[in-house]
Amino acid sequence: MSEDDKLDLDAWDPQLPPSDFAERVLGQVVAEAKVAAPAPPANKAPRWGRDAGVVSLLALAAALAMRVTGMSGSPAHGETIAKDRVEVSLGSRALAVLEPGAQLKWDGDDVVQSHGDVFYRVEPGARFRVHTPAGDVEVKGTCFAVKIRGEAPSNKDAGAEMNKRDVKSGVVGAALSALAFVAVYEGKVAVSHASERIDLGAGESAQVGSDGVKKSAALGEGEKAFDAKAAANAASDVPLAAANENLVAQVSEYRSRLEAIAAQKIELEQKLKKSEEKLASDGGATRTRAEYDLTQEDWAELVKKGKVKFRVPCYQPSGWELGPKQLNDLGLAPQDSAPIKDAYQRSYERLWKEIRPMCATALATSPDVIDKIGIEQCIHLVYDTAVKVDKESAKEAHTQVAEIRAGLRAEPGPNEKVHPVMKLFLLLTGANKVFEGDLARSLGPEEAHRIAMSDDVCMSNNGWGGGKKRDPNAENK
């Protein structure tokens, strides 16, 4: 391979979320709900066909925000068809998030994606290939998504046929009508079809079909073109397109904006890591506590930056269960798995009970509609709506939470009116502490703290800037 063909892993600078993000997401959800208003037939259509325009996209953004660890014990071979959104570890270096209807088969670093939408995060290493009915994707380490529409080989040897594709002869048979879309969030991938091959960098996309590989300058532009072509090829299979000819373009726009937020989060996490490494060094002393095991002194430093940090158990409605290897790595017994799973479920229920009505109030809609958005997106929507209503008061509430955690300000009383941003961040910054206390009832306080701060369990780590910057020594309110 020449130097020009080698993959680099540089990330791209995404745009900030648009100011009208909340209204557009709400508008899409309400429009989708109106289309689905007539009574369903006896054999109800699967959720994939009905809600993919909104729910699967929001789920993709949630998947990007979630940190999942412990892939080293994952099987190197396997096959799965997703009935619901599911996360699958592909061997030791790749994670895939499958939307409903997606189908994967993998053997080491070779993956066959024959149907549906899949988001991949691949750690740097040897070549990692995704084979689709329309073309192949090759990477070394990156984040990207692949969508497939149209026919795909239906026989059991479909994966073998795609792996045997000869670049000189092109794709034949059932795969001719298949379309694939590749979107790159960070790093670089190579997309090939027959003898044609192009490279994509972060923020770029390509459409692959019987007419070859078509590169787009931006994710949003490529997404619109792909959805329009897929809708034109199978309009009878897309009820929402029949109800509203502009819906495909709207959904594509919402998706691209959510992807921009996800890409921004990745970049901010990288910057956060560097800042935390700098923060961990105090006069040459090495920090011995976990990154998110924050003291009041740590919070006082965050006040200076107008920032809050929080570690939240992964948002799992049915709980998150440790596998045998994770239990072994943590030095836990098999019987410890059940109380940990239950603690994850109770954590989700506590957070969603508070955030759900806040989200409904922020968007001026019913909680039933909010259920289609989900907890991860509601956190952003509550914050963004508060900033739009009154930016200065939102920034002030943002910093006051850090001051409360630093012991510089008292928490609001039970009957005191609380700003939505303060209520949201007090809930999130305290979530892991409550989770730890829940675990302590079964495992004891020391074990509970060790598990709550471990990298071997499922946690979402967040650093959120945007508050007012203050010097606690000069202004102790």
Averaged confidence pLDDT in the chain: 77
What pLDDT, on a 0 to 100 scale, did the predictor assign at position 35? 45
Lowest mean pLDDT across 43-57, 212-226, 369-383: 43-57
- Residue 368, token pair as written in the block: 């039933």
- Looking at the structure, tell me whether residues 247 and 178 fall in a common domain: yes
Residue 355 is inside which H or E element, if any?
A: helix 337-363
Complete DSSP assignment for 394-451: HHHHHHHHHHHHTTSSPPPPTTS---HHHHHHHHHHHHHHHHHHHHHHHH-HHHHHHH
The mean pLDDT value for 137-146 works out to 91
Cα 86-30-384 angle, rounded to 5 deg: 75
Q: Are residues 330 and 437 in the same domain?
A: yes
Query: pLDDT tens digit string along 161-170?
Result: 444 443 333 3
Domain-located, residue 218: yes
Distance CA 271, CA 239 (A): 43
Same structural domain, 349 and 234: no
Confidence grade of residue 26 (pLDDT, cut at 50, 70, 90)? very low
More confident: 168 or 441: 441
Per the structure, the complete domain to which residue 22 belongs is given by 3-260
pLDDT at 258 (0 to 100) = 77
What number is the average pLDDT over the span 148-162? 54
Token pair belonging to 371: 């259920």
pLDDT at 400 over 60: yes
Whole-number pLDDT of residue 151: 57
Asked whether residue 254 is assigned to any structural domain, the reply reads yes
| Res 477 pLDDT > 80 | no
Average pLDDT on 144-152 reads 82
In this prediction, residue 222 carries a pLDDT of 84
**Given this model, what pLDDT does residue 472 score?**
84
Specify if 185 maps to a domain: yes
Helix axes 247-280, 55-65, angle to 10 degrees: 10
> Where is the domain boundary, 260, 282, 308?
260
* Residue with more model confidence, 348 or 160: 348
Q: How far apart are CA 149 and CA 56, in angstroms?
A: 15
Copy the structure tokens of residue 14. 């995404």
Indicate whether 274 belongs to any domain. no
In a domain, 269, yes or no: no
Q: Which of 320-334, 440-454, 463-477 has the highest mean pLDDT?
A: 440-454
Q: What is the pLDDT of residue 119?
A: 96
Does residue 80 share a domain with residue 172? yes
Give the pLDDT score at 217: 65
Selection from 308, 279, 310 nearest residue 403 by Cα: 308
Beta strand pairing call for 110-122 and 128-131: parallel
**Is the same domain home to 146 and 199?**
yes
Q: How many CB atoms lie within 10 A of CB 182?
A: 29
Helix (H, G, I), strand (E, B), or coil: what is residue 53?
Answer: coil
Instruction: Give me 442's structure tokens.
Output: 């079964």
Please write the tens of the pLDDT for every residue from 303-319. 999 999 999 999 888 88
Tokens matching residue 163? 């792996």
Query: What number is the average pLDDT over the span 22-49?
Result: 42
Answer whether residue 332 is part of any domain.
Answer: yes
Domain boundary among 215, 242, 260: 260
Residue 33 confidence (pLDDT) above 80: no
252 and 308 inside one domain:
no
| Per-residue model confidence (pLDDT) at position 235 | 56
pLDDT tens column, 36-84: 444 433 333 333 333 333 333 443 443 333 333 334 456 788 999 999 9
The answer to whether residue 329 scores a pLDDT higher than 80 is yes
Residues 311, 357 share a domain: yes
- Are 223 and 308 within one domain? no
254, 298: one domain: no
Q: Is the pLDDT of residue 256 over 80?
A: no
Per the model's pLDDT, the better-predicted residue between 262 and 108 turns out to be 108
As a whole number of angstroms, the distance between CA 303 and CA 438 comes to 29
One domain for residues 297 and 247? no
CB atoms within 10 A of CB 460: 20
Task: Tell me the CATH number at 32.
Answer: 2.60.120.1440
Q: 190 to each of 165, 183, 197, 306, how far by Cα in Å?
A: 16, 11, 7, 41
- In this structure, are strands 307-313 and 459-465 parallel, antiparallel, or unpaired? antiparallel
Burial class of residue 333 (count of CB atoms within 10 Å of its CB; 0-12, 13-18, 19+): exposed
Q: Which residue spans within 295-397 are E strands per DSSP? A: 307-313
Query: Domain check: are 202 and 350 in the same one?
Result: no
Average pLDDT estimate for 254-261 = 76
Q: What is the model's pLDDT at position 56? A: 38
What's the pLDDT at 206? 93
pLDDT, tens only, 354-369: 999 999 999 888 878 8
Last residue of a domain, one of 245, 260, 275: 260
Q: What was the pLDDT predicted at 253? A: 73
Please indicate, yes or no, whether residues 228 and 320 belong to a single structural domain of this protein. no
Number of domains present in the structure of the chain: 2
Q: Find tokens 């930056």 and name the residue.
A: 305
Q: Is 421 domain-assigned? A: yes
Burial class (CB in 10 A: 0-12, 13-18, 19+), 140: buried
- CB-based contact 11:266 (threshold 8 Å): yes
Mean pLDDT for the stretch of residues 148-170: 49
Domain membership of residue 476 (yes or no) is: no
